[in-house]
Amino acid sequence: MDGGRDAQVNVGHGGGSAGVQIHHSRRLPDFLQSVNLKYVKLGYHYLISNLLTLCLIPVMAVILIEASQMNPNDIRQLWLHLKYNLVSIVILSAVLVFGSTVYITSRPRSVYLVDYCCYRAPDKLKAPFHLFMEHSRLSGVFDESSLEFQRKILERSGLGEETYAPEAMFFVPPRPSMAAARDEAEQVMFGALDNLFANTSVKPKDIGILVVNCSLFNPTPSLSAMIVNKYKLRGNIRSFNLGGMGCSAGVIAVDLAKDLLQIHRNTCAVIVSTENMTQNWYYGNKKSMLIPNCLFRVGGAAVLLSNKSVDKRRAKYRLVHVVRTHKGADDKAFRCVYQEQDDAGTSGVSLSKDLMAIAGGALKTNITTLGPLVLPISEQLLFFATLVVKKLFNKNVKPYIPDFKLAFDHFCIHAGGRAVIDELEKNLQLLPIHVEASRMTLHRFGNTSSSSIWYELAYIEAKGRIHRGNRVWQIAFGSGFKCNSAVWQALRNVNPSVNGPWEDCIDKYPVKLVL
């Protein structure tokens, strides 16, 4: 055998005869070549990223050498020249001062994430698979085909046995009333807000902006009004209630709060992201409308943002970018997540079979906008060069996929389902550790809609992985169809908040998933 290879021999018996299979590992030179290519790319990235510095060093050296060789008389003449041109110096100084003042007053204000809290329901609301299926069967509304379909979805969903369902679903038959829906909303929102106010010592009267997003439950008075009433917020508060915007509405709420914090000085904004399941459980037999029953679970998050410079010292993160993509002009994208009635008149949310393809297109558009804002120049040059070659020479050349691992340290991918996480891991060429927070959030809490990205960030913090200067990419998908991104930069080494959702179980994670 070739001396440049390692050989493994497997002998098997079958059908009365022996068979021998020889598996060869890669040649050693091939392995060394791949290692060399890795370091060539790292060297290229370092060279391009520091090109300006490397060019300035010799220029500065030449200037210093020339200055050291100047005649003292030349230096004296230069001083006299400046001394007798005071008018020019004063005018120049005035222009610099004026320009600096305009820049300081007109530049965007920094938005800081002081803290956030995720709601964790009481243990009595845990919905293990056997209990979910038992209650589905006892409800009497699902036929055998629908029950079997739900069982298969649960097994393949990536959810674990400790997710939470709304209290109304634990009755036989279920009791999805308006009162029960209000109770669920109050428990989630007030539970998260109570922890937030306790952890930050912020008084409710100090809140100047309130943004609440919940897609499917929009009572009158609104959810934001319920919070104003509960915490007796001030009368001139700017409150907003976002409905029908799907699982990506948490990032939309951040974007709205950011814009308001550019206008209103020295104030704080609170965002509450949640979803309400009580009145939105589907009791029918249309397969595409049964999937949300198996994936969506109870959850919510409250986030405190501030534009006060004094809050920078205690804040966890600074908001760097928000990029929003809306594909609603396309009919297929518009209807891929659609609330409607089935043939029997039962309401629910239908998921299209084209959902993953549409999500991929929205993601492509979103990262095309985000890439130039966050990627190092080395990756942008490679992407541009591949694009030029594809357009001018060879249309069969595959587009270069930028390495977003060079731009971000942590990824919070919306835990919409196992397929969503798998697809982004593959398309963005991420490592298992980069999607660990998303997979574990889906396993422990299920799809909590717009708040899932906050449970994921809490997971990364609980693991002690976020250090000063790290960048976090939160990316979420939602009906409409939308793909939205938020980029945060850690201002310090971040520790998990008190009463965090992972506080008593983080040591058990990550768990091994059967994929």
Q: Is 81 annotated as catalytic?
A: no
Q: Which of 195, 213, 285, 447 is catalytic?
A: 447
Contacts of 424 by beta carbon, 8 Å cutoff, 6+ apart: 363, 413, 430, 435, 475
Listed in sequence order, the DSSP H helices in 107-205 are 129-139, 144-156, 178-200
Question: In the chain, count of helices (H) and strands (E)?
Answer: 16, 13
- Per annotation, catalytic residue among 214, 241, 336, 410: 410
d(CA 87, CA 514): 77
Element (H, E) at 442: helix 436-445
Residue of 195, 366, 443, 470 marked active site: 443
Other CB atoms within 10 Å distance of the CB of residue 20: 8
Instruction: Give, as one character, the DSSP assignment of residue 483.
Output: E
Please return the burial class of 145, using the count of CB atoms within 10 Å of its CB with bins 0-12, 13-18 and 19+: exposed
For the record, the structure tokens of 275 come out as 């979803």
Specify whether the CB–CB gap between 270 and 209 falls below 8 A.
yes
**Residue the block writes with tokens 């908001």:** 319
Residue 336 · residue 263 · CB < 8 Å:
no
Confirm whether 467 is a catalytic residue: no
Per-position b or e across 38-56, b if 16+ CB within 10 A of its CB: eeeeeeebeebeeeeeeee
The alpha carbon dihedral of 110, 474, 440, 293 has a sign of positive
Largest CA distance in the chain: 107
Q: 468 in helix, strand or coil?
A: coil
Residue 296 Cα to chain centre, angstroms: 18
CA angle 45, 49, 55 (to 5 degrees): 120
Strands 410-413 and 471-478: parallel
Of 10, 6, 8, nearest to 26 by C-alpha is 6
Cα–Cα dist 18/12, whole Å: 6
Contact between residue 447 and residue 296 where contact means Cβ atoms under 8 Å apart: yes
CA distances from 225 to 111, 228, 264, 270, 296 (A): 25, 5, 21, 13, 25
Q: Are strands 300-306 and 268-274 parallel, antiparallel or unpaired?
A: antiparallel
- Of 456, 449, 438, which Cα lies nearest the Cα of 501? 456
Whether 414 sits among the annotated catalytic residues: the reply is yes
Catalytic, 23? Answer no
Q: Which of 326, 336, 412, 470 is catalytic?
A: 326
Enumerate residues 6+ apart whose C-beta is below 8 A from 150. 132, 133, 136, 142, 290, 293, 294
Q: Which residues are catalytic?
A: 247, 326, 410, 414, 443, 447
